[in-house]
Structure formats: C-alpha cells, structure tokens
Amino acid sequence: MRIISCGSSFSSLEPKLPGTHYTELLAKELGAELTNIAKPGSSNFAIRLQIETAIGLKPDLITFEFAGAQRIDLPLAAFGEAGQYKSSNLAHNLRYTGYKSVVDAEIDTTQESIVSDGIGNFIEGTCFPENEKLTPSARAALKNWFVELYNEDLKYHQDYFTCTSAFYALEQSGIPYIWTRGDMCMFDWSIYKNQVPDGGNMWLGVIDPTIYNVYHTSPEVQKDLVKYWMETYRKNYK
C-alpha cells in the first residue's frame, strides 16, 4: 500500500522528528509506504497541484488539507530569479527548496517556478523559504495591489472553487482519499465525502509558539490527530 500526502506546513514532515507526523503515523498503522509532497506555505492552488500530481502517481490513498486563502503564488521573477511555469509540471513548479521540511524524492526541484506564501509574509519579507525576498519593485507592486484591489471574501470564494475541483478529479481517478477543510471553514462541505472530523483538522488546534518545528505542534498532538484520520479511513474504506 502507498499513501501520498498533500498540504501545507501542517502536513509537512519535520526532519528532526522522524516518524512523529500524523501522516507517518497513519502509514505505520496501515503498513503503508508514505510519499509526502506537502510543503510549508502552500496556497490552495499549490495544494491542488500536489493533488493532481498525486493522482498521476496512482497511490492507494491520498490525504490532504486545504489552506488559508490569504496565501498566493508568485513567479520566481518576483524574486529576481529565473524559472518558467509549465502547467504540465504540476507540483514540480512549486518551490520546495529553502524550507526546513523534508522534500520527497518524487519532487523534481529543478523545475521550480513559483513561490507560495501569505501576502503579509511576502510584503514583510518573512516568507517561509529562508532568505527569500521580493525585489523592491515586486514588493511595491504587491503592496499596492493588496491595498487597492485585494478583497478577502472574493479570494476565499475563488479558493473554494479551486478546492472543490479536486473532488471531481479524485472521483474520476477512483483513488481513495481522506481530507480536512483546513482553514476553509466558512463554507459548507457536507456534500463532499470522506472529510476528517474537526478533531483531526490541524488548522483548528492551538499552535504552541514555543514549538519551532515544521508542523507547528508537538508529537503528542500528532498522535491525537491521527486517530481522526485513521477513523475516517476505516469508516469509508474498510
């Protein structure tokens, strides 16, 4: 059995704490091989690319979480770097290098072309990839766009439809999947099956500011989270 996990930092692996993340615990419980292509700072579009990449790899189970709509994707040109976005590259377009998380061997980091993160992080120069800074002109343009044109309700609604498109692709693939709505809690997801209960939604937990690991919580919290994911899997597929 093979599991592929998608998502943001909450679903990313911490190299200093191997075997402690909920996806690793889930794989161990199921006797499965784990491929984790989640990455910190992922937008919902980035996660959608991960899901499409996962479908192409034809695993036995796909797990994923949705992120916050305050996150966007910017081309490497905004950082003064080269990189051409290609739709056929799917998740390989995403910047995985420069983070403190584990990068799975399935990801070809030579194809990186976009960086995902929160708008505020980009503007303040505190985005997840270490030492990643926008050029002065790109920062000024983004700040002006945010002040003059950004609408939070509109962005969340756009992201909602990006997220829901994943279910059609997953159903068409026939690959089992379990998921959590993450930060997209303002929408009604009841028509979509296999959702993990809120107890397994890591976005709803309390982030301990004294914990400096990739997935934001302690290994003990991960043990609690996996119970809900395991329960959802068994309920729908066993």
Domain ranges of the chain: 2-237
Mean pLDDT on 44-72 = 98
What's the chain's average pLDDT? 95
- How confident is the model over 78-112, as pLDDT tens digits? 999 999 999 999 999 999 998 889 999 999 999 99
DSSP H stretches of helix in the chain: 22-30, 44-57, 119-124, 136-149, 152-173, 219-237
- Spatial separation of the C-alpha atoms in residues 150 and 169, rounded to whole Å: 29
- Spatial separation of the C-alpha atoms in residues 168 and 153, rounded to whole Å: 24
- Residue 131's pLDDT is 66
CATH level 3 topology of 2-237: Rossmann fold (3.40.50)
Q: Is 90 exceeded by the pLDDT of residue 206?
A: no
Burial 137-149 (b: 16+ CB within 10 A, else e): ebbeebeeeeeee
Instruction: Report the SS3 class of residue 188.
Output: coil
Q: Is 80 exceeded by the pLDDT of residue 207?
A: no
Residue 14 pLDDT class (50, 70, 90 cuts): very high
Mean pLDDT on 108-137 = 89
What tokens were used for 127?
């985005």
Q: Give the least confident one: 90-99, 123-132, 174-183.
A: 123-132
Read off the amino acid at residue 164.
T
Q: Is 90 exceeded by the pLDDT of residue 66?
A: yes
Instruction: Report the SS3 class of residue 180.
Output: strand
Angle of CA points 30, 235, 10, to nearest 5°: 60
Tell me, letter by letter, the H, E, C secondary structure of 20-53: CCHHHHHHHHHCCEEEECCCCCCCHHHHHHHHHH
- Spatial separation of the C-alpha atoms in residues 173 and 58, rounded to whole Å: 8
Percent of the chain scored above 90 by pLDDT?
90
pTM over the 0.75 mark: yes
